[in-house]
Amino acid sequence: MREIAYMEPAKKGVRPDWDTYFMDIAIVVARRSTCLRRQVGTIVVKDRRVLTTGYNGAPAGLIHCNQVGCVRERLQVPSGERHELCRGLHAEQNAIIQAAVHGVSICGGTLYSTAYPCSLCAKMIVNAGIKRVVYRGSYPDDLAKAILAEAGIEVTQWGGETNAGKRDPATKTRST
What secondary structure letter does DSSP report for 168?
Answer: -
The kind and range of the H/E element at 65 are helix 65-68
Question: Annotated catalytic, 154?
Answer: no
26 Cβ partners below 8 Å, 6+ apart?
41, 42, 43, 53, 112, 113, 114, 136
Distance CA 31, CA 119 (A): 23
112 beta partners:
43, 134
Residue pair 160/139 in contact (Cβ under 8 Å)? The answer is no
Which residue out of 73, 92, 154, 161 is catalytically annotated? 92
The set of catalytic residues is 92
